[in-house]
């Protein structure tokens, strides 16, 4: 995400090298670079115009203090303005009504409404301890209703069953009754995808809005659509009183422009970002962290939060101890580490949050998701006993494991050798410390 934008913006500092302070004439070049970066990222033109003007105003005459170089001072201003254009402060989800709080989901087909409904249910249950009911008003696509029912099952949220022939308005009222009766805190209402120009469908959702009186009407929009996304958001905002936006598929090959334009063009804050297909792939949207990520400074806070959210603390400590002593560390532990990484959104999601240079370095070192998945596949094909005692894996077991994971026997061998080396290292570190290990490596 944002790779191109990040690269371009990190080049801007260079244009100001050797300057003593920021002036109208010496920031011209830097501003031009920023403008090109934003155009390439598909940021809406009116947003770019305001952005550049703001940066210019604030950068000129900006005292360059202490250790900051003029380039760094300029980037500091860009950082603050990036934050500002994304809304400045984080916009929290509003649940401040007498329960049930209704959240209405709107957007184009394929934007990620149903998936986001499921993710949001999970997030509200885990982070806010809410009892959530999922409701689908997409009577036009039975598969969409089934998809939501499945998501409810996976997340543990309740699901409101729809009877055939029921209309969206009828479903909504019945679901509200049901939620009141069963003391749900939140009702998430998923709707059919529709185009802003489809008057009948827009009228339908407008009626639903009036009927449900939602505390949040969220526009779900696919970040990969760039400026188009922003234009559809505007069309919806004209008909529906939107309270916020969920920007999905930020993990895709998105140039990131939508994140920077949506707030400016619609006046509505981005409340959540979809960052992976899986159910944990929804994050509250923090303009400051996003600005840091765009500038290649990473989102280390986000990474730590994610680790805390997904890690079992006791388990982590137990594993740390094993790794330190090298005793009892086996392939079962290895497997667990892979699972933990997956919970955190996989390698690419983690790299995405690291400062630009670090994540580049990791990519250069070939920390490749495919290789990781393959390794995990091999480990998963072993029996727990084999994982606990890798030395029992002889030729016939190797053949079975290879066949089970679609790998070759050589790959299984390689994994076992690597694991054995890692275990030796751990033991050595424990016994003789770093010096002994270095000697062993050299020898
Ligand atoms: P709807 O028609 O708006 O309900 O869209 P869906 O929820 O069915 O999503 C359409 C597709 O986008 C599905 O394949 C989802 O898995 C995928 N999707 C949704 N959100 C994200 C996201 O944040 N990241 C990625 N990578 N895929 C997503």
Please give the full DSSP string across 107-163, using - where no structure is assigned: E-TTSSHHHHHHHHHHHHHHHH---EEEEE--TT-HHHHHHHHHHHHHHT-EE-PPP
Instruction: Find, among 211, 30, 188, the residue nearest to 118 by Cα.
Output: 188
How confident is residue 138, by pLDDT bands cut at 50, 70 and 90? very high
Is there a domain that residue 77 lies in? Answer: yes
Pocket test for ligand 1, best of 277, 278, 280, 349 (most atoms within 8 A of CB): 277
Q: Could you report the predicted ipTM of this complex, rounded to two decimals?
A: 0.99
User: Bridge partners of 273?
Assistant: 247, 283
**Most trustworthy range by pLDDT among 78-82, 216-220, 276-280, 309-313:** 216-220
Q: Determine if residue 242 is labeled as part of a ligand binding site.
A: no
Structural domain range at position 397: 312-442
Rounded distance from Cα 437 to ligand 1 centre (Å): 48
If you average pLDDT over residues 293-304, what whole number do you get?
68
Which atom of ligand 1 is nearest the CA belonging to 109? 2
Question: What is the distance between the alpha carbons of residues 270 and 259, in angstroms, rounded to a whole number?
Answer: 8
SS3 (DSSP) at 186: strand
Dump pLDDT digits (tens) for 18-48. 777 788 888 888 899 889 988 888 888 999 9
If you average pLDDT over residues 270-275, what whole number do you get?
94
Same domain, 146 and 290: yes
Is there a domain that residue 342 lies in? Answer: yes
Same domain, 344 and 210: no
Rounded distance from Cα 248 to ligand 1 centre (Å): 7
Rounded distance from Cα 419 to ligand 1 centre (Å): 37
**Amino acid 265: pLDDT:** 85
**Amino acid 107: pLDDT:** 92
**Amino acid 443: pLDDT:** 36
Same domain, 205 and 233: yes
Residues enclosing ligand 1, CB less than 6 A? 107, 109-115, 193, 248-249, 251-252, 274-277, 281
Token pair 């947003």 is at which residue? 47
Q: State how many domains the chain has.
A: 3
- Is the CB of residue 168 less than 8 Å from the CB of residue 191? yes
Same domain, 335 and 416: yes
Q: Is the pLDDT of residue 180 over 80?
A: yes
CATH label of the domain that carries residue 207 = 3.40.50.300
Lowest mean pLDDT among 9-23, 59-73, 272-286: 59-73
Token pair 């790959």 is at which residue? 411
**Amino acid 18: pLDDT:** 75
Same domain, 268 and 236: yes
The residue ranking higher by pLDDT, 363 or 223, is 223
Determine which residue's CA is closest to atom 16 belonging to ligand 1.
277
Q: Determine if residue 138 is labeled as part of a ligand binding site.
A: no
DSSP state of 251: T
Q: Where among 85, 113, 140 does a domain terminate?
A: 85
Q: Where among 270, 297, 324 does a domain terminate?
A: 297
Pocket test for ligand 1, best of 105, 123, 248, 272 (most atoms within 8 A of CB): 248
**Amino acid 437: pLDDT:** 47
| Mean model confidence pLDDT for the chain | 84
The residue ranking higher by pLDDT, 79 or 344, is 79
Q: Determine if residue 274 is labeled as part of a ligand binding site.
A: no
Lowest mean pLDDT among 11-15, 107-111, 195-199, 302-306: 302-306
Same domain, 132 and 258: yes
Is there a domain that residue 305 lies in? Answer: no
Determine which residue's CA is closest to atom 22 belonging to ligand 1.
249
CATH label of the domain that carries residue 22 = 1.20.120.140
**Amino acid 300: pLDDT:** 60
Dump pLDDT digits (tens) for 403-429. 999 989 999 998 898 888 777 777 766
Share of the chain above pLDDT 90, in %: 43
Instruction: Find, among 298, 324, 277, the residue nearest to 429 by Cα.
Output: 324
Same domain, 268 and 332: no
Q: Is the pLDDT of residue 109 over 50?
A: yes
Which atom of ligand 1 is nearest the CA belonging to 273? 23
Lowest mean pLDDT among 56-65, 307-316, 378-387: 307-316
Is there a domain that residue 233 lies in? Answer: yes
Q: Where among 36, 52, 85 does a domain terminate?
A: 85
Same domain, 402 and 290: no
Same domain, 10 and 75: yes
Is there a domain that residue 244 lies in? Answer: yes
How confident is residue 303, by pLDDT bands cut at 50, 70 and 90? low
Which atom of ligand 1 is nearest the CA belonging to 220? 3
**Amino acid 420: pLDDT:** 83
The residue ranking higher by pLDDT, 435 or 163, is 163
Instruction: Find, among 156, 114, 119, 154, the residue nearest to 135 by Cα.
Output: 114
Is there a domain that residue 302 lies in? Answer: no
User: Bridge partners of 284?
Assistant: 272
Residues 6+ apart with CB under 8 A from 386: 331, 392, 393, 397, 401
Same domain, 293 and 166: yes
Lowest mean pLDDT among 13-22, 137-146, 361-370: 361-370
Q: Is the pLDDT of residue 368 over 70?
A: no
Which atom of ligand 1 is nearest the CA belonging to 111? 3
Q: What are the b/e assignments for 400-420, b being 16+ CB within 10 Å?
A: bbbeebebeeebbeebbeebe
User: Bridge partners of 190?
Assistant: 136
Q: Is the pLDDT of residue 273 over 70?
A: yes
Residues 6+ apart with CB under 8 A from 364: none
**Which tokens is 431 given?**
């016994």
Q: Is the pLDDT of residue 253 over 70?
A: no
**Amino acid 59: pLDDT:** 87
**Amino acid 307: pLDDT:** 66
CATH label of the domain that carries residue 376 = 1.10.260.30
SS3 (DSSP) at 274: strand
If you average pLDDT over residues 210-219, what whole number do you get?
96
Could you tell me how far CA 60 lies from the centroid of its own chain? 35
Same domain, 78 and 107: no
**Amino acid 442: pLDDT:** 42
Mutual angle of helices 226-239 and 257-266, in 10-degree steps:
20
Dump pLDDT digits (tens) for 54-76. 999 988 876 655 566 777 788 88
Is there a domain that residue 306 lies in? Answer: no
Same domain, 7 and 113: no
Is there a domain that residue 74 lies in? Answer: yes
């Amino acid at each position: 995400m944002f790779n191109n934008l990040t690269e371009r913006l990190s080049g801007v500092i260079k244009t100001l090298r050797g300057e003593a302070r920021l002036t109208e004439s010496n920031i011209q070049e830097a501003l031009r670079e920023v403008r090109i970066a934003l155009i390439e990222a598909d940021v809406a033109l009116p947003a770019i115009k305001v952005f550049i003007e703001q940066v210019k105003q604030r950068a000129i005459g900006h005292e360059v203090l202490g250790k900051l170089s003029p380039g760094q001072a300029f980037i500091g201003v860009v950082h603050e303005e990036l934050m500002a254009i994304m809304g400045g402060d984080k916009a929290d989800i509003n649940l401040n009504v007498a329960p049930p709080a209704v959240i209405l989901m709107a957007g184009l087909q394929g934007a990620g409404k149903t998936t986001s409904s499921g993710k949001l249910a999970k997030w509200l249950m885990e982070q806010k301890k809410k009892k959530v009911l999922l409701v689908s008003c997409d009577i036009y696509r039975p598969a969409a209703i089934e998809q939501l029912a499945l998501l409810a099952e996976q997340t543990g949220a309740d699901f409101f069953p729809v009877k055939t022939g029921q209309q969206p308005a009828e479903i909504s009222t019945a679901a509200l009754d049901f939620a009141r009766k069963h003391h749900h805190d939140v009702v998430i209402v998923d709707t059919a995808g529709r185009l802003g120009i489809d008057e009948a469908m827009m009228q339908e959702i407008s009626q639903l809005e009036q009927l449900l009186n939602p505390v949040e009407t969220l526009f779900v929009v696919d970040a990969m659509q760039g400026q188009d996304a922003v234009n559809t958001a505007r069309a919806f905002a004209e008909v529906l009183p939107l309270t916020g936006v969920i920007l999905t598929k930020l993990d895709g090959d998105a140039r990131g422009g939508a994140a920077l334009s949506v707030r400016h063009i619609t006046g509505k804050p981005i409340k959540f970002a979809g960052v992976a297909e899986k159910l944990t792939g929804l994050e509250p949207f923090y303009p400051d962290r996003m600005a840091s990520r765009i500038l290649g400074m990473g989102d280390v806070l986000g990474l730590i939060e994610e680790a805390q959210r997904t890690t079992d603390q006791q388990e982590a400590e137990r594993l740390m101890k094993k790794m330190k002593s090298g005793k009892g560390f086996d392939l079962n532990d290895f497997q667990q580490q892979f699972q933990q990484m997956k919970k955190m959104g996989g390698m690419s999601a983690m790299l995405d949050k690291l400062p630009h240079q670090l994540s580049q370095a990791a990519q250069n070192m070939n920390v490749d998701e495919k290789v990781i998945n393959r390794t995990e596949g091999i480990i998963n094909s072993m029996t727990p006993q084999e994982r606990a005692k890798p030395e029992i894996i002889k030729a016939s077991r190797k053949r079975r494991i290879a066949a089970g994971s679609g790998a070759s026997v050589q790959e299984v061998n390689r994994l076992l050798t690597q694991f054995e080396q890692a275990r030796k290292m751990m033991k050595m570190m424990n016994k003789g410390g770093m010096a002994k290990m270095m000697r062993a490596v050299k020898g």
